[in-house]
C-alpha cells in the first residue's frame, strides 16, 4: 500500500534551553516518496528539531504542518495518528517485552485495530529480519538487531513521514549496509517520506535525494547531496572553524 502524497513542512521553528539557542528559525520540507537527509555537526540541533516536530518539546515559535494539517497543537500522543512516526537516537525499546510485543504496542499506540496491528507487526518483523527473534525479550537482542527493531516499531505505525534519528549509530559497516538496503526497499515500495539523520554521510547519501544541513541551530545549506558536499559553508561547518 502506497501512502498518499503529502509533505511535512517545518516553518520557522525555534527552541532555546535556558538561553541556549538549540534551533533558530528553522524551515525545511520533507515530502513523501523520497528520503530527505538532515545532517550537521554534533550539537547542530537535529535531534531538537525532530523533538519539536513530534512535540516532545514545545517550540518557542514557528509551525509544523503535514500538508494542510497544522501539527503545532497536536498532542505528542496524537502525532503518530496524524501520520508522523520517529525512532530515537537513544534506544527507547520496552526491554522486558518481546520483539513482537514491542512492535505490536507501537502499532496499537498509533490507533490500529488489534488485527491490523498483528498484520503490520509480522510485516515489519520480516522487513527487518527479526522473525527469528519474535519471542525474544528486546533486552536480549544483539545491538544491531535492537537498532533495527527501533526502526521496525516506528514503521509499524504506518507513517506518512518517518523520522529516523541516527538509526545506524553504533552499527558496523555491514550492518549499516544491510539497514540501507532495507530502507531503500521500503522507500521504493511504500512511497512514504523519510527524514534521515545520521553521522555516516555515505549511509545518508545512499538513500537521500535531497540534503538539509544545520549548523548551530540554523539552516546553512540544502540541495542535492552532490551540491551540498561541495558547498564551502558546509565544509567549513564540518571542519569546525
Ligand atoms: P544534534 O542532534 O544535532 O547533535 P541537539 O539537538 O541534540 O543536536 O542539540 C542542540 C543543542 O541543544 C546542543 O547545544 C544541546 O546541548 C542543546 N540541548 C538539546 N536538548 C537539550 C535539553 N533537553 N536541555 C538543554 N539543552 C539541550
Ligand atoms: Mg542528535
* ipTM reported for the complex surpasses 0.90: yes
Residue count of the chain, please give it.
Answer: 241
Residue 55's Cα: distance from chain center in Å?
14
Grid cell 553504533 is found at 170
Confidence of residue 1 (pLDDT cuts 50, 70, 90): low
| Under 8 Å between Cβ of 64 and 52 | yes
Whole-number Å distance, alpha carbon 37 to ligand 2 midpoint, is 13
In the prediction, which pLDDT does 230 show? 93
Domains of the chain (ranges; CATH) run 1-83+159-241 (3.40.50.300), 93-158 (no CATH)
Q: Using CA positions, which residue lies closest to atom 17 of ligand 1?
A: 22
- pLDDT tens for residues 126-156? 999 999 999 999 999 999 999 999 999 999 9
For residue 137, what are the contacts with CB-CB under 8 A and spacing of at least 6? 95, 96, 97, 98, 99
Which ligand 1 atom is at minimum distance from the Cα of 57? 23
Query: Between β-strands 20-31 and 7-17, what pairing exists: parallel, antiparallel or unpaired?
Result: antiparallel
Pocket of ligand 1 (CB under 6 A): 17, 20, 22, 40, 42-48
User: Beta-carbon neighbour count of residue 161 at 10 Å?
Assistant: 23
- Asked if the model's pLDDT at residue 241 lies above 60, the reply is no
- pLDDT tens for residues 75-88? 988 999 999 999 98
Ligand nearest to the CA of 42: 1
- pLDDT tens for residues 11-41? 999 999 999 999 999 999 999 999 999 999 9
Amino acid at each position: 500500500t502506497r501512502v498518499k502524497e503529502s509533505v511535512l513542512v517545518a516553518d520557522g521553528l525555534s527552541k532555546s534551553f535556558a538561553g541556549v539557542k538549540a534551533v533558530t528559525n528553522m524551515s525545511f520540507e520533507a515530502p513523501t516518496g523520497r528520503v530527505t537527509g538532515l545532517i550537521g555537526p554534533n550539537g547542530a540541533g537535529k535531534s531538537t528539531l525532530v523533538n519539536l516536530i513530534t512535540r516532545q518539546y514545545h517550540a518557542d515559535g514557528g509551525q509544523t504542518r503535514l500538508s494542510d494539517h497544522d501539527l503545532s497543537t497536536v498532542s505528542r500522543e496524537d502525532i503518530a495518528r496524524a501520520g508522523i512516526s520517529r525512532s530515537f537516537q537513544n534506544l527507547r525499546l520496552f526491554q522486558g517485552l518481546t520483539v513482537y510485543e514491542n512492535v505490536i504496542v507501537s502499532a496499537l499506540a498509533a490507533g490500529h485495530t488489534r488485527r491490523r496491528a498483528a498484520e503490520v507487526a509480522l510485516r515489519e518483523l520480516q522487513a527487518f529480519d527479526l522473525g527469528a527473534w519474535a519471542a525474544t525479550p528486546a533486552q536480549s537482542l544483539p545491538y544491531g538487531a535492537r537498532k533495527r527493531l527501533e526502526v521496525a516499531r516506528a514503521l509499524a505505525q504506518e507513517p506518512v513521514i518517518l523520522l529516523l534519528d541516527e538509526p545506524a549509530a553504533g552499527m558496523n559497516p555491514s550492518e549499516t549496509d544491510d539497514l540501507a538496503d532495507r530502507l531503500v526497499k521500503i522507500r521504493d515500495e511504500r512511497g512514504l517520506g523519510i527524514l534521515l539523520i545520521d553521522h555516516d554521510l555515505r549511509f545518508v547519501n545512499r538513500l537521500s535525494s535531497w540534503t538539509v544541513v544545520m549548523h548551530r541551530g540554523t539552516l546553512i545549506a540544502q540541495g542535492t547531496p552532490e551540491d551540498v558536499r561541495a558547498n564551502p559553508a558546509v565544509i567549513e561547518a564540518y571542519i569546525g572553524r
